[in-house]
Amino acid sequence: MPYFGFFYDYYYLILVVPMLILSVVAQIMVKSTYAKQSKVLSSRGITGAQAAARVLYHYGINDVRIEFSPGGKLSDYYDPRAKVIRLSDGVYNGSSVAAIGIACHEAGHAAQHAQDYAPIKIRNSILPVCNVGSYIGIPLALIGFWLGFEPLVTIGLLLYSFIAIFQLVTLPVELNASQRAVKVIEETGMLQPGEIGGAKKVLTAAAMTYITALLVSLANLLRLVLRFNRRR
């Protein structure tokens, strides 16, 4: 979003706004795809919880729990600290191709942590810097600009850039979790060949939200760099 009146300019309109619109479209698509594929029941009749358990078994993981979470739709996630896969009602108890795809995706994250998947380790290592950058990156850059102290501007923008770096590293993590999910689904026969496409559609739509989030961050970073350079 624009930072005070100083940053509200055409850079935001031509760089960030199109990416924000694309992000909204991606969110609509994932919700629409999920709603559609949630109506397609698996012929095997297994639930999302059972599907996640099969993925864990496939990877030899026996220290991860699968729990019901009272959160809303698409609120499913894997908690690596507690070693718990938390699934919403529509996924935990659901037997649709969407539920199975999402549950297996979250179990794929558990497999990544169990196998020390490199991008996961990288993402976790830069998370503290990313958190700091999200809070103080732009304020530091603003203070540096007002004081005419260019090194402080550079430090602020570098800290802020870690948001985009974090999202860049997150992308292969999410794609790999989906690849693991589809692989186990196919190898174990959890879904019929004609049903796998529906699960893939849900996972692909979800991946688009991470891609657009990265694009928004990159566009905003570029906008800030251009804006500061223009006002020097």
Residues 6+ apart with CB under 8 A from 68: 49, 86, 87, 89, 92, 93
CA distance 137 to 67: 37
Do 231 and 145 form a contact (C-beta atoms < 8 A)? yes
Say whether 230 sits in a helix, a strand or coil.
Answer: helix
DSSP letter at 75?
-
Residue 153 dihedral angles phi and psi, to the nearest 5°: -60, -45
Amino acid at 9: D
CB atoms within 10 A of CB 205: 21
Instruction: State the catalytic residue, choosing from 67, 106, 186, 187.
Output: 106
Distances in Å between the Cα of 78 and the Cα atoms of 11, 52, 97 are: 37, 11, 19
Q: Is 67 known to be catalytic?
A: no
Which residues are annotated as catalytic?
Answer: 106
